[in-house]
Each structure stands twice: as structure tokens, then as C-alpha cells.
Amino acid sequence: MLDAYVTALGMVLDPYVLFVITASAVYGLVVGCIPGLSATMATALLVPLTFFMPPVPAIAAIVTTSTMAIFSGDIPGCLLRIPGTPASAAYVDDSYQMTLKGKPELALGIGLWFSVLGGLFGTAVMMVASPAIADFALGFGSVEFFWIVMLGLGGAVFIGSSTPLKACISLLIGLLIAMIGMNNPAGQPRFTFESTEMLGGVSLIPMMVGMFACSEVMRHMVSGGSAPHAVVQKIGPIFANMWRLTKQYPWQLIRGSALGTIIGIQPGSGADMAAWMSYAMSKRFSKEPEKFGTGHPEGLIEAGASNNSSLAGAWIPALVFGIPGDSITAIAIGVLMMKNMAPGPTIFVNNPENVYAVFLVFVIANLMMLPLGWAIIKVATRVLSVPRRVLMPIILLFAIVGSYAINNSLFDVGVMLAFGVLAFVLEENDFPVAPVILGVVLGPLLEEYFINSMIKSDGRLIGLVDRPIAAVLAAITIGIIGWTVIASLRGGKPSKQPAQG
């Protein structure tokens, strides 16, 4: 294992990889900072570029961009009361109140410092836990994997969503889209409408770019809106009080990081839900809950650490089982598959250095966040004044060229547009978009595991549950679905925070 880590370190410290990490870091910080451009969109727009990179820098770019964007979403929340990404929404009141009290540097410092600590905590858990889980999962057959995928999808639809029925429909649409083409156990062309371009299935990159960038441009065109003005111009020393706060609230830091990691691991809920739940938990256990929402640091610390630790947590099921925890990891899994690094327990045996390289990128990205985050805070008021009506057309052009670039195909540009329109219409009608992408990424795997399991058991459904681990996974999955169905039949939907992105 140590050998593999040394190899991985060599891979990550390559000048080209370090350049990619630095560039993605700056890009992620800037995009996350601009309200209306989400971390998911930042990641999706980057995917066409990663297509042209070797595996390690490609993954490094995705990891770094998402980590940075989740932190810098705190900046407009603090200065403008507009969260830059959904993950910052939970504590936007507290941080904005600090700004109004003339202490923006305190709110931003907490966001930065505790994001880094939370991110490092999540990374440490990931480094210890995922090889162990992978080791355990090596004995899994197609039945167990079938249920793990089911659990991932079930979690995404029934836990991570405020409208389970609509999320379920979104997921089924995604799964059906995954059926297009010849990539199925029988090798038969399905739903291709006699078109040769569709034989290979819907290409993932134009689809992701369309769903997360093109639809975002369309939404902006409708809402319009100009760049809001920040109330502060001057930001004081950022790290001044951080050590004192760390000593004052150590328990909040650990609790937020731990809860965030767990929520990240749990499929279907990501950074935004981690922040909401940690903020609520912090308030619940606080000695002074009445101060929450008035510029009190406690909730900021706990939730700020939580959303960054969840990011690393989400990579555990992504790397070990190939199950995305949220749309960003779904994009990342798409990139891994594209690079012939299909995630799964065997990747820890066959290419451990690649996995360890991912771990090290997380560590580097979080450490790099301190100086670069400091820099972006210093120039934040300028970044915030970049008008979105200038950025959106450029993003659209980038989306067009990015989709085209993969296969030099104008058909892919059409795919991008089609999925942009689909995502826009779905979101207009409160259908969440994340389950669609999960369905498309996991659909081929789910079918393969299902068909293989059925063939092994001669077509009897009992074959899906007659192994102990499979039975346990099946029981959990059915329990989650059953609980949600019963709760919604009883009238009130189970209370949830809005999950998106």
C-alpha cells in the first residue's frame, strides 16, 4: 500500500497535474462565487476539457473544482445574502448578519477555515474507510451489486428528494434513456430509430453539459436580473480569530464534519442536505439557540465544515461501488468510466495508485484552498460585480463547443440542446433533475446486474434475495421505499429540506 501511495504521489506532483489542479481551483472558486452558477454547472462545463486529459489530471480537475466551488458559494451568501451554490443556503442568514454588523471577514474566515478542516476530515475518513469497504465488497456477485445500485437509486429518490413521486419519474426517464443503443447484455440495438448516431447510446458529455449548463442559461434568460451590489467594500484580516473559534467550538467542528461525511456517504444526498441538517443539529444542541440567524458563529462552523466533508464522503460509494451520491459524483463517475477507470472494488486491487491519487488530490485541493480562498475573498467584491448577462451567452457558446469537441459531431450539439430543454421543462414543473443523470449513469449497470442475476438463478426472482448480504441490502432498500410510501399515504410527506443541484 505504501508503494502505491508513493507512486500516486509521483503522479499527483507531476507539473502538468499540479497546473490542472491550480487552474481548476481558481476556476471553481470564481464560478462558485458567482450567484446563479452552481458547483454542479462548474463541474459539468469542465467535463469536455477533461476528455482530452489523462485519467489522473481529469479526475483531479473534477475533484478540485467541486471542492472549491462548494466553499466559495459561501462568499455571495455572506456579502449579498444570495448563496452561490445551494449548499450554502442553510446558513446564509447568519453570515449575512455578520456582514451587516461590519464583520464580513469573520463570516468568510469561518467559511474558509472550517471548510478546509471539514474537507480534510472527510478525506481522512475516505482514505481509511474506502479500501476497507472495497476489500469486503470483493466477494460481491451480480446479485449484491444489483441491490447496491438499487439502494443508491432508492436513496436518491426517496431520501434525497422532497417530491419522491416526481423524483421517481425522473429516475425512470433516466433509466429509459440509458436503454438507448446497443450497450445491453444482448447487444441488440434498442430505441435507436434506425439512426447510426444513436447505436452507441446517448453520449454522456453533451447530455451532462445540456442538463446542467444549457438549462441554467435558459433559466437565466427567463429571470434576467442584474448583478447585485455588495454592501461592503473592505474586508479585514481573514484568519484573525480562527484559532480562538476552533478552540471554542471543537465539538461543533467534529460533529459537523462527521455528520457531513455520513450524509455524503449515504447515496442521494449531498452537500446541501449536509449543511441543512448540520445547521439544524447545531441549533438543537446549542446552549444559545436564540442567537442562531443573528450572526452567530456556531451554526456557520458546524454547517460550513459539514458541506465540505460531505463532498469527500460522497466519493466513498462512488469509488467503491460506482454509485454516485449526488449529481457532481455522477458526473465524476461518468468521467472515470470514460477514462477506463470504471469504479468498483476491483479498482482498489488493480489500480490502487489511481485511487490513492484521487485521495491525495483531495488533500492537496483542501490545503490549496487556504491561500487561494484567501485571495478570492480579497477580490470577491469585484468578482461579484461581473454581470451574469455577460457570462451566460459565453457559457452557452462554451457548452456548444464542448459538446461538439468530443466527437467533432454536430449531432452531439443537438443532444446537448435536447437535454437542456428537457432539464428546463422538468425543473419548471418541480421534477428534480439529479435522478435523471443517476439513472443514465447507472442504467446499463443495473440492467447487466439484473439480467446476470436472473440468468444465474434460471429466471427465478428468489435468486435476487437468497444470499445473506443481498437479502440485507434488499431489506434496507425495500424498507426505505416502503417507509416513504407509507408516510406519503398517511397524508403528510416526510419532512425534508429541499434538495437540488
Contact footprint for other proteins (CB under 8 A): 49, 52, 165-166, 168-169, 172-173, 175-176, 179, 184-186, 188, 190-191, 214, 217-218, 221-224, 389-390, 392-394, 396-398, 400-401, 404-405, 408, 410, 413-414, 416-417, 420-421, 425, 428-429, 447, 450-451, 454-455, 458-459
Q: Which is nearer to other proteins, 32 or 189 (CB)?
A: 189
Q: Which is nearer to other proteins, 304 or 432 (CB)?
A: 432
Which residue matches cell numbers 435558459?
218
Q: Return d(Cα 90, Cα 424) in angstroms, integer.
A: 25
What is the smallest separation between the CB atom of 1 and other proteins, expressed in angstroms? 35
The three cell numbers of residue 187 are 447487444
Rounded to the nearest 5 degrees, what angle is found at the Cα of 138, between the Cα atoms of 135 and 140? 135
What is the smallest separation between the CB atom of 453 and other proteins, expressed in angstroms? 10
What is the smallest separation between the CB atom of 454 and other proteins, expressed in angstroms? 5
The CA dihedral of 11, 13, 19, 25, to the nearest 10 degrees, is 100
The three cell numbers of residue 118 are 471539514
Q: Return d(Cα 245, Cα 253) in angstroms, integer.
A: 10
Find residue 181's DSSP bridge partners.
Answer: 190
3-state percent helix, strand, coil for the chain, nearest multiple of 5:
75, 0, 25
What is the smallest separation between the CB atom of 265 and other proteins, expressed in angstroms? 27
What is the smallest separation between the CB atom of 457 and other proteins, expressed in angstroms? 10
SS3 323: coil
The three cell numbers of residue 251 are 465539538
Q: Which is nearer to other proteins, 178 or 303 (CB)?
A: 178
What is the smallest separation between the CB atom of 405 and other proteins, expressed in angstroms? 4
Q: Which is nearer to other proteins, 279 or 419 (CB)?
A: 419
Sign of CA dihedral 36, 39, 42, 43: negative
What is the smallest separation between the CB atom of 400 and other proteins, expressed in angstroms? 5
Q: Which is nearer to other proteins, 190 or 291 (CB)?
A: 190
The three cell numbers of residue 59 are 479526475
Which residue matches cell numbers 434513456?
177
Q: Which is nearer to other proteins, 48 or 345 (CB)?
A: 48
- Give the burial string for 247-257 (b: 16+ CB within 10 Å, else e): eebeebbebbb
User: How many Cβ atoms sit within 10 Å of the Cβ of residue 301?
Assistant: 30
Q: Which is nearer to other proteins, 101 or 493 (CB)?
A: 493
Query: What are the E-state strand segments in 1-55?
Result: none
What is the smallest separation between the CB atom of 379 and other proteins, expressed in angstroms? 20
E strand or H helix that includes residue 4: helix 2-12
Q: Which is nearer to other proteins, 268 or 435 (CB)?
A: 435
